[in-house]
Chains A and B, each alone.
Chain A
Amino acid sequence: MAPWSANHRACTTTWTTLRVLAQIPLNLPFSRAGTVTMKELTFWNQAGTPDLRRVQASALAAQMDNVFRLVRRAQFEPGVEPAQAVSAIANTLLGADNTLADLAEVNDANYLFWGEDVASA
């Protein structure tokens, strides 16, 4: 499993973003959030078709990207294309048993978060 640490900006930003977007409860502490799976997120509707769930995951991925870049002032890692980053989020969201830690690891690979530098990212 990917590391889940409060010292890791990708982890904490993934956690707060999903809280603000109402995908996980606002009172879910960071320490307990790393093992939450994608199927436990609010968007995941197991009664829907994969088509519908893919639309919802794609929309949520685009919004997570909006929050990262515009509200949290993240930039893409060198060599990462925007479509690659958003698609990676969407694909992770579509894996029912992927965890928040897995999602944070994907985000860490594609985004340079505010306050990080290339050397420490």
Chain B
Amino acid sequence: MWRAPRRTWTGLLGLCVLCCCLVAPTKAQQPDTTSLASFAALNNIPEALLAEVLGDPATINKILQRELAKGPALLRNLNVSFKTFKAADTDSITGLGLAYSFARNITDNQFSSKGATQAGFSLSLQAQGDVAFERALNPNDFLDAGLRIHAYRSAGGAVLVTDSVATLLNELETQQALIEDPEELASSPFAARFTRIVRDNLTPQLYTEAALSAHIESDQRFDQTQYVYGVHLGVDFKPWNAGYWNLADWPFAVLRWLTGYDRALAPTGATFPTLLVGVQLVDPQGVTLRESLGETAPYPRFSTEIGFKTRAAPDLSFLANFRYYREIDAPASIRAADLAEQLYFTAALVTSTGLFASYTVGKLPFDRMSDQVYALGFKFGF
């Protein structure tokens, strides 16, 4: 069941942000700008309207984006979203918090490039986590930050066209760009011919990478931490011209066709699931449960992740993520305490406004709860 977040939380947060952004008065009389009413009066804005606007998550997002756009360019890769948490056995929202994620390539070097085949290596920084303002209510109490070196190879994807085809595509593109109406664009012969020509020259692409990594996993207070050193293999296969291979997209292709989002029943190769598989050496520090069992030595762990996202209908997308962690050759005490493996699955519906509803089952490392949780919330980007 989907439930909208409490507007009182966002309203109070919006008021706090607004108060922080108020400029010192320049008039000799020093008017009071510390209250919503006085600020509204000073700017000739109806107070009720101002309160409603500040209660809108999009307003808070715009304020934060404006202020943080003044910071380093690196912040553009930082994404923050506020979340509310609701446990399965209650009817009310039980906690407020935020989720963050960051990923950026620091350097990139290519040692091979021929046609549609490229190979090289890069260095990247990544971080992500869920933080609850009341820690005990966080069912996904897990932070992760790390440095990775990747060797990658991308093979296939497109073939070379002739000069005349390139010129024709430019002309068709110019005609399409002049169309303002979505219905007219959807039925435009220029758009149809352009799309057909380009897709006829696409081929399946296989992107693979092998990475060495070093990162830290912890709970939000850093009471329990793990240093993780590992290798992983990433595989992203996209049958750009053969969407029927994408079995996961068939149900959503039917939905898109029935809702009129697509004019034909056409699964897309663009959403073929992505796979990560890895083996890590985990060095736990202050992990309470493992310490109580006398198991504090570093241990090997297998992990895998599969991600999938596709359009389901106009202004609606479906996404899913599955993760599995398993300690290799875990001692009997670890297995008996149910610490040897963790399985985590989440699925969500997302709209363009950022409002979403999701369903999550399972647990991540460090979690003490494996309850089913509906994570509701709204998104703000930096």
Contact = CB atoms under 8 A, between A and B. Distances in A.
Interface residues of A, number: 63
Contacts of B207: 55, 58-59, 62
Contacts of B268: 22
A83 B271 CA distance: 25
B113 A87 contact: no
A16 B170 CA distance: 10
A86 to B, nearest CB: 7
Contact of B382 (A19, A29, A31, A97): A97
B116 A66 contact: yes
Q: Chain A at the B interface: mostly helix, strand, loop or mixed?
A: helix
Interface string A32-55: 000001011011111111111111
B311 interface: yes
Contact of A52 (B181, B274, B358, B379): B274
B361 interface: no
B256 to A, nearest CB: 10
A25 B195 CA distance: 12
B148 A16 contact: no
A46 to B, nearest CB: 7
Given A52-B307, A62-B118, A71 B348 contact: no
Contact of B178 (A6, A15, A83, A91): A6
Contacts of B116: 66, 70
A95 interface: yes
Contacts of B183: 27
19 contacts: A9-B170, A20-B194, A20-B195, A22-B270, A29-B179, A30-B176, A45-B319, A46-B348, A51-B305, A59-B207, A66-B205, A71-B198, A83-B108, A86-B108, A86-B110, A87-B107, A87-B108, A94-B77, A94-B103
Interface of A: 6, 9, 12-13, 15-16, 19-23, 25-31, 37, 39-40, 42-59, 62-63, 65-67, 70-73, 81-84, 86-87, 90-91, 94-98, 114-115
The list of the 8 closest CB pairs from A to B, nearest first, reads A87-B108, A83-B110, A97-B381, A59-B207, A22-B270, A50-B103, A62-B154, A96-B79
